Chains A and B, each alone.
Chain A
Amino acid sequence: MLKYSLRRLLIGAGMLLALSMLIFVMLRLTPGDPIDAYIDPNVPMSPSDLVELRATLGLDQPLPVQYLAWLQQALTGNLGYSIQRPDQAVLGLVVSRVGPTVLLMGTAIVIAIIAGIATGIVSAVRRNSLADISFSVLAVTGISSPPFLSGLVGLYLFSVYFNWMPSGGMLTPGREFSLLDLIHHLILPASLLALAQTALIMRYMRGSMLEVLNLDYVRTARAKGVSEFWVITKHALRNALLPVITLIGSTIGLAIGGAIFIESVFNWPGMGLLMVTAVENRDYPVIMGSTLVIGACVIVVNLMTDLAYAAVDPRIKVG
């Protein structure tokens, strides 16, 4: 197991290296560099003013030289400085964003799982009832509304029109930290991010539950006189959950994509907002740094999943 893990980690390091090269080359293929992003065409500033700045940043060097210089620094743990904000180190910028993103996505996933499963059960049990129909309509709306749209509509409704929720940010500016304040800021973006995922889970849960409720063993349970509540929660639910659990794993990708939009709409200080701003400004060090951190996370999580499978399922053998 140890040997296997080490080998996987080595492969992971190689993949990170390849990823860094790929990102580096792709970034340089996009038109315009950080200095181009720095010049406001409306302002009477000469590009020649910035020749020295370009040289200081090493942007006038050939590509392989630039890459090796970056790699050399990166290997020692120095991901460089943001070009747009040179007083901030990339590593610090990226690390400080991981927490907010995990919090937002984590909350969204929890909301989606709980709300999705609960509404799915209700829909299946009270099939064709008013609740079922309204949940189904909501689910179709949820699946078909892209996060940037639901984000904006939600923002308008809940913070501008009803004025129930803050319109953005993670904490009230100028106020000491309080958990209530954080939850107040978190609940709207997290719920909106959860919307599409909730809808998907609800649809699956409903389908799977309906199937299970018609099976013989459920009828047997009922025939034995088990109350309807226990038939659903104990007998039917556990079997119906299996396909849904598989689905939940695969919809996490949906949440990552959605988080980028939601973070932009709600000014949530996470990885998504950081990367969007960095791409707009061609802030190479920040893009490289954040991609690498995300890449490293994915590699580690994949490894852990594989190890967990091996630990749980005796049919899978690693090494």
Chain B
Amino acid sequence: MKRVSRLTYAAALAAMMATSALPAFVVPAQAATLSGGFDVGPGGFQGNFNPLAATSGFTWLSVYYEPLVTYDEKLQKVVGLLASSYEVSDDQQTYTFKLADAKWHDGKPFTAKDASFTLELAKNAKTGSVLAARLTAISSVEATDDKTLVIKLSAPSASLLDTLTKVMMLPEHALTQIPADQLAKNSWWSAAPVGTGPFKFGRYVTDQYVELTANTDYRGGKPALEKVINRYFANPAAAIAALRAGEIQFTYVDSNDLNTFRDNKDFRIIEGNSFVVNYLGFNHDSSIWKDLRVRQAVMYAINRDAIIQSLYGGAAKPANCGYVADQVVPQDIEAYAYDPEKAKKLLEEAGWDKINGNKPITLLTYYTTPLAANVMAAVQAMLAQVGINVTPRAVDTPTYNSIVLNPTPDVAQFQMVYAGLQNGPDPSSINVGLNEKQIPPAGPNVVRARMPELTKALDTALGETDATKRDARYQDVCKVMNAELPWGTLWVANRYGVASAKLKDFVWTPAPGGGPYQAHPEKWSIAD
């Protein structure tokens, strides 16, 4: 008995010490290992290992897989990767790819048969491929020899190359035995996948991290790093804590968390275009937005410059149509400069008192970040000043989708949305959000825009086979959007990553969906 009591005392003492502070024994980072939060933020997709099912997460997937073609690191043009070169026929319906001399991680050669096998998988929705609908224009895929792949289309498609950047090549010899409908459930993806990229799959520790090791036979040269580790985080804040504690060397960072890294020599801030245009979507099924003057009033009532300065710290560009890129924005469009008096006048002319007056209008969003909450509050206050009474409501993504994608929606639940849509690098991205043919359930035209002139402009731009005229066609789209206001367009914000100053030759950009783009992981290195 006596001994037990003493033991209890000793244990109590030990526990008390444990609950207070323990002496430091920090483990130094291993040399030649880069740890990062590669799947943190909007471009990431933690826990997904299957590139056919990837709606995002390409930054990480493209460290060990490779597509035929990819974007350059500025996201300006599509360049060859596993295809050393490619040609497009004059009628824009035949694409011929010359393949590079690459090897799979298991040593077998990469051939055109692998490429055609992968494209067949991607076209087949039974595999769980989310790319199938975007590849329907392909009529045939043929491996004419080991190093030549010919893709024929039934009609020209301006977005084919963009889609192909997301088709990661998969090895026929490893996957051909698995029935298409069982492919997604196969454990191959997270156990022992084989790609052609600069790093090979090492292991996945469930919900903790994925470890890759250098592919010493990589055709672009032996990687400088020995290992790359992708740590999983429940939220960006946890990743920032790990970055500041020195456990990881890189992560995506929300713009309002950037200040702690500014003027800090240990870190480098990487800024890039989000390619997502934020907008206030008018639900055109609701009668209150029918009058163009009301929609114009919303544009004039919001002081976008003030919001950009005070909430985004200047890191956003006002959008007066779906685009902000110079080549697709015409010079002479309306700038909708902040003018609350004009807004009030327009509302009065339209008879806003009779249309809706002071009744509350639900402003629905799936953005749940503190920044978005501040933006919504600012918009609410600015609209209230001119007599439009909106009530912000933030819900999670599945709830948002179930409300807005419902084929027979309850208009009262979302008279207005605060949302975003990818507007580049391929400008045709916004088509699905505005084309009349894309009204749910067909597509995500959630604002139910039924504007014949806009649909026509979008169709013309998408069908333009002459690459030199494409920008002009998208300028037409911009012009119509600016005049008709299917959305109250707001801005395109920048996104950020923060990397340790020790990282050398590290290429990252906040690409939509995580890319892919030419990141050259084989060149990444870390200073001691």
Contacts and interface: CB of A to CB of B under 8 A. Distances in A.
Given A40-B56, A115-B16, A233-B5, A50 B398 contact: no
Interface stretch (A171-179, A242-250, A287-295, A309-317): A171-179
Interface stretch (A14-22, A63-71, A265-273, A297-305): A265-273
A77 interface: no
Given A37-B397, A44-B421, A44-B431, A87 B208 contact: no
- What's the interface size class on B, roughly? 35 or more
B403 to A, nearest CB: 7
A42 B207 contact: no
A51 B440 CA distance: 12
Interface stretch (A5-13, A156-164, A214-222, A251-259): A156-164
A117 interface: yes
Interface string B23-62: 1111100100101000000100001111001011000000
A31 interface: yes
B189 interface: yes
Interface in B396-438: 396-405, 419-422, 429-433, 438
Contacts of A121: 12
Interface in A145-197: 152, 155-156, 158-160, 162-175, 181, 184, 187, 191, 194-195
A226 interface: no
A165 B22 contact: yes
A274 interface: yes
B512 A48 contact: no
A76 interface: no
Contacts of A167: 238, 241-242, 245, 247
A53 B234 contact: no
A319 interface: no
Given A45-B130, A46-B442, A32 B399 contact: yes
B244 A160 contact: yes
B18 interface: yes
B414 to A, nearest CB: 12
Contact of B47 (A56, A85, A170): A85
Interface residues of A, number: 82
Contacts of B512: 42-43
Contacts of B432: 44-46
Interface in A91-150: 93, 96, 110-111, 114-115, 117-119, 121
The 7 lowest CB-CB distance pairs between A and B, nearest first, are A32-B398, A118-B12, A36-B401, A32-B402, A114-B15, A49-B133, A37-B398
16 contacts: A40-B42, A43-B422, A43-B513, A47-B440, A49-B130, A52-B125, A53-B130, A81-B185, A87-B187, A164-B21, A171-B208, A173-B205, A174-B209, A174-B211, A233-B9, A267-B238
Interface of A: 30-34, 36-53, 56, 81, 84-88, 93, 96, 110-111, 114-115, 117-119, 121, 152, 155-156, 158-160, 162-175, 181, 184, 187, 191, 194-195, 198, 233-234, 237, 264-267, 269, 273-274, 276-277, 280-282
Interface of B: 1, 5, 8-9, 11-16, 18-19, 21-27, 30, 33, 35, 42, 47-50, 53, 55-56, 125-126, 128, 130, 132-134, 181, 184-190, 205-209, 211, 227, 229, 231-235, 237-238, 241-242, 244-247, 276, 366, 395-405, 419-422, 429-433, 438, 440-444, 446, 512-513
